């Protein structure tokens, strides 16, 4: 017999109903150590949305090879970007969440929702964040994955985790889910602004590279829209910056394994540019909302060395949008639009009736127990 989690005092039975927005990012290890990376990678790489390989085969590869070798190597990479405050991804994601929450409160006043941060893997754990909101009387939930371009390996993984959690609840809240914002005008404008700000300080490089996180090519062939959405983002940004196709290029990074991923590959492209004698290049990673290992170490350090050693000039990394005001404004505006049509919690007849029923039930229980006065 299934058992469902409920909270009779908070969920409309006399408590204050809650509307909440949860911003979700990928996640990060707790520390730049092999043991922390082993836990994190074990959770991340076990997600069938991330690695679409027969489970039995992948279990053998993951536990027999990857988790024996990769944690120590990844820990060394994380140590290069770790700060006194902790993981750059976690610190940056929390700063963005706090800024978005403040902007939404400014715009919506008393009707503003609670805005929380959660991670798909690691802490703050998505399930724990949702359970905390449930205990506070969650009735309406808006989920915003911090992935501008949709992919089954990222955005859909968040959807799976949210629904797997909610299916255990007795009272499921109304749910809205933002799948992407790759062509949102504010997002494109914020990217263009960040590039122009970089150029004002450092001058313009010979070429601008847009490096997106890669996915296996077979995901595209099986219907994943990620590649197409990356190309749309790139085209809109190129138009906003008034660049030609010879001045701005799209590539894909972070491939692992032997099977083909989306191409052209960032590292190989930079190597070819270096051999061709290309001078300084600017690299922007539009798919990363927050700076993290893949931007700060893989691009700004590892790929910068690849480019220089091949004979190229300087690789100047343009930071992610992080909590830039234009980024905050874009996400806050997106949230406000998505909340449209939802009545302020507590104003509908159901809440009033539920409270009345609860009061009458308490009185009836007191009479039955002989405790009424």
Distance CA 337, CA 162 (A): 21
Are 148 and 246 in the same domain? Answer: no
Please report whether residue 12 resides in a domain: no
Neighbour tally for 57: CB within 10 Å: 9
Please report whether residue 3 resides in a domain: no
Are 176 and 97 in the same domain? Answer: yes
pLDDT (tens digit, 9 = 90+) per residue, 305-354?
999 999 999 999 999 999 999 999 999 999 999 998 886 655 544 455 44
Are 107 and 252 in the same domain? Answer: no
Please report whether residue 356 resides in a domain: no
Q: What is the pLDDT of residue 95?
A: 99
* DSSP-assigned beta bridge partners for residue 19: 140
Span 241-267, mean pLDDT? Answer: 97
pLDDT (tens digit, 9 = 90+) per residue, 182-226?
999 999 999 999 999 999 999 999 999 999 999 999 999 999 999
Are 278 and 308 in the same domain? Answer: yes
Distance CA 195, CA 63 (A): 42
Sorting pLDDT into bands at 50, 70 and 90, what band is 369? Answer: low
Q: What is the pLDDT of residue 373?
A: 46
Cα–Cα nearest to 142, from 26, 20, 25: 20
Please report whether residue 4 resides in a domain: no
Are 96 and 193 in the same domain? Answer: no
Are 81 and 116 in the same domain? Answer: yes
Please report whether residue 368 resides in a domain: no
Are 38 and 168 in the same domain? Answer: yes
* Cβ(198)–Cβ(316) below 8 Å: yes
Q: What six digits make up the tokens of 203?
A: 């001058």
Angle between helical axes of 185-202 and 226-241 (0-180°, round to 10): 50
pLDDT (tens digit, 9 = 90+) per residue, 103-128?
999 999 999 999 999 999 999 999 99
Distance CA 172, CA 186 (A): 32
Angle between helical axes of 88-108 and 325-339 (0-180°, round to 10): 60
Residue carrying the six token digits 């909340």: 339
Sorting pLDDT into bands at 50, 70 and 90, what band is 356? Answer: low
Please report whether residue 205 resides in a domain: yes
Q: What is the pLDDT of residue 345?
A: 57
Q: Is the pLDDT of residue 14 over 80?
A: no
Q: Give the range of the structural domain holding residue 156, as residue numbers without chain letter.
A: 18-182+325-340
Are 41 and 173 in the same domain? Answer: yes
* Cβ(152)–Cβ(224) below 8 Å: yes
Are 89 and 135 in the same domain? Answer: yes
Are 27 and 148 in the same domain? Answer: yes
Sorting pLDDT into bands at 50, 70 and 90, what band is 362? Answer: low
Q: Is the pLDDT of residue 161 over 90?
A: yes
Q: Is the pLDDT of residue 9 over 60?
A: no
Please report whether residue 270 resides in a domain: yes
pLDDT (tens digit, 9 = 90+) per residue, 52-81?
999 999 999 999 999 999 999 999 999 999
Distance CA 25, CA 144 (A): 9
Are 130 and 73 in the same domain? Answer: yes
End-to-end CA, the chain: 39
* Cβ(99)–Cβ(323) below 8 Å: yes
Number of domains in the chain: 2
* Dihedral sign from CA coordinates of 118, 121, 127, 132: negative
Measured CA to CA in angstroms, residue 159 lies from 91, 142, 180 at distances of 23, 11, 12
pLDDT (tens digit, 9 = 90+) per residue, 133-156?
999 999 999 999 999 999 999 999
Please report whether residue 246 resides in a domain: yes
CATH of the domain at 66: 3.40.50.1400
Cα angle 212, 217, 220 (rounded to 5 degrees) comes to 85
Are 165 and 30 in the same domain? Answer: yes
Helix (H) or strand (E) holding 60: helix 55-61
């Amino acid at each position: 017999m299934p058992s469902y989690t409920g909270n009779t005092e908070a969920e409309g039975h006399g408590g204050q109903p809650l509307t909440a927005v949860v911003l979700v990012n990928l996640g990060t290890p707790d520390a730049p150590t092999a043991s922390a990376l082993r836990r994190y990678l074990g959770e991340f790489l076990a997600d069938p949305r991330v690695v679409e390989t027969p489970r039995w085969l992948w279990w053998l590869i993951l536990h027999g090879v990857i988790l024996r070798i990769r944690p120590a190597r990844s820990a060394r990479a994380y140590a290069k970007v770790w700060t006194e405050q902790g993981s750059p991804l976690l610190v940056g994601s929390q700063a963005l969440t706090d800024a978005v929450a403040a902007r939404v409160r400014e715009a919506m006043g008393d009707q503003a929702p609670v805005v929380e941060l959660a991670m798909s893997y690691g802490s703050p754990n998505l399930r724990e964040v949702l359970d905390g909101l449930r205990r506070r009387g969650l009735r309406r939930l808006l989920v915003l994955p911090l992935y501008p371009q949709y992919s089954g390996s990222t955005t859909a993984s968040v959807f799976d985790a949210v629904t797997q959690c909610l299916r255990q609840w007795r009272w499921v809240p109304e749910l809205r889910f933002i799948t992407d914002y790759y062509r949102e005008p504010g997002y494109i404008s914020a990217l263009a602004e960040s590039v122009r700000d970089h150029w004002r300080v450092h001058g313009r490089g010979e070429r601008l590279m847009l490096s997106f996180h890669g996915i296996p090519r077979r995901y595209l062939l099986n219907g994943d829209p990620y590649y197409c959405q990356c190309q749309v983002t790139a085209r809109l940004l190129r138009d906003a910056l008034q660049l030609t196709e010879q001045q701005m290029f799209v590539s894909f990074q972070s491939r692992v394994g032997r099977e083909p991923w989306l191409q052209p590959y960032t590292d190989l492209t930079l190597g070819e540019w270096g051999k061709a004698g290309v001078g300084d290049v600017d690299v922007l990673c539009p798919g990363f909302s927050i700076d993290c290992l893949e931007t700060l170490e893989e691009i700004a350090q590892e790929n910068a060395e690849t480019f220089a050693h091949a004979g190229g000039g300087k690789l100047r990394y343009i930071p992610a949008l992080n909590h830039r005001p234009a980024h905050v404004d874009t996400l806050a505006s997106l949230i406000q639009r998505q909340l449209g049509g939802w009545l302020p919690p507590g104003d509908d007849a159901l809440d009033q009736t539920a409270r009345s029923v609860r009061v009458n039930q308490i009185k009836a229980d007191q009479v039955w127990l002989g405790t009424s006065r």
